[in-house]
């Protein structure tokens, strides 16, 4: 077994371009370029986090999100904001910062009510190509961290569009869900073992911070 930690976003980065993954996460030669949209997204996440957790009033320019978030606050159950979860390679739960962590993720909001839970991920980008697979990984970690949960309703909340893309997961399907991550994880593990990281040029190369790559138009 190769010793690496992964998250949904790191696995996705690897799938998009193994070379970019290597340059940024393995060699640490570059950092991810932060676009204006990414900075805005972080600011909104912080504002919503503080509103839900601390009841800190939303700034005037974020008031438009209040109705959506209030409906989440009104859901019955224990609320966990920016909830950090991690698992070891044997899929047992551990602390987010433990040395032997294998996979980890942070859920924007988890609401646990008996054997049911809600997981919400705020999105500030376009709702055109929703990617609910990250909810599946988050649900796997939540099932493990909260052994009483049997059913999870999870959603990507596109706050700019007042749209909710929802999924439902059941504890009994956990093995099937893990199976969906097997192939890309095997490829990632293979790259670590062989130290082969193929470039995958796409039109997105123009936004890539790896300017030493032959496919980066700079």
Q: Which residues bind ligand SF4 (CB under 6 A)?
A: 17, 19-20, 199-201, 205, 208, 210, 213, 215-216
Give least dist CB 33 to ligand SF4, A. Answer: 10
Which of 17/159 has CB closer to ligand SF4? 17
Give least dist CB 29 to ligand SF4, A. Answer: 11
Task: Identify the helix (H) or strand (E) that includes residue 54.
Answer: helix 36-54
Which of 18/41 has CB closer to ligand SF4? 18
Q: Tokens standing for 132?
A: 């609910």
Query: Are residues 117 and 151 in contact, defined by beta-carbon separation less than 8 angstroms?
Result: yes
Give least dist CB 24 to ligand SF4, A. Answer: 9
CA–CA distances in Å: residue 200 to residues 14, 127, 191, 216: 10, 25, 14, 11
Query: What is the residue-wise DSSP string for 121-183?
Result: EEE-S-SSS--THHHHHHHHHHHHHSTT--EEEEEEEETTTTEEEEEEEEGGGHHHHHHHHHH
Give least dist CB 201 to ligand SF4, A. Answer: 4
Which of 21/169 has CB closer to ligand SF4? 21
What is the C-alpha to C-alpha distance for residues 81 and 76, in angstroms, rounded to an integer?
Answer: 15
Give least dist CB 184 to ligand SF4, A. Answer: 16
Which of 15/200 has CB closer to ligand SF4? 200
Which of 112/210 has CB closer to ligand SF4? 210
């Amino acid at each position: 077994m190769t010793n690496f930690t992964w998250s949904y976003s790191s696995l996705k980065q690897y799938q998009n371009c193994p070379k970019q993954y290597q340059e940024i996460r393995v060699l640490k030669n570059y950092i991810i370029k932060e676009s204006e949209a990414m900075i805005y997204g972080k600011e909104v996440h912080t504002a919503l986090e503080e509103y839900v957790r601390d009841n800190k009033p939303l700034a005037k320019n974020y008031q438009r999100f209040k109705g959506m978030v209030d409906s989440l606050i009104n859901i019955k159950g224990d609320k966990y904001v920016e909830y950090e979860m991690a698992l070891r390679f044997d899929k047992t739960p551990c602390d987010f910062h433990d040395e032997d962590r294998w996979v980890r993720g942070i859920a924007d909001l988890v609401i646990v009510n008996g054997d049911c839970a809600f997981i919400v991920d705020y999105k500030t980008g376009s709702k055109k190509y929703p990617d609910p697979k990250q909810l599946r990984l988050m649900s796997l970690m939540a099932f493990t961290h909260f052994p009483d949960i049997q059913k999870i309703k999870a959603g990507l909340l596109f706050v700019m569009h007042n749209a909710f893309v929802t999924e439902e997961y059941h504890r009994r399907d956990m093995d099937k869900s893990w199976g969906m991550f097997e192939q890309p994880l095997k490829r990632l593990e293979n790259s670590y073992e062989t130290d082969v990281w193929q470039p995958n040029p796409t039109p997105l190369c123009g936004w890539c911070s790896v300017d030493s790559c032959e496919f980066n138009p700079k």
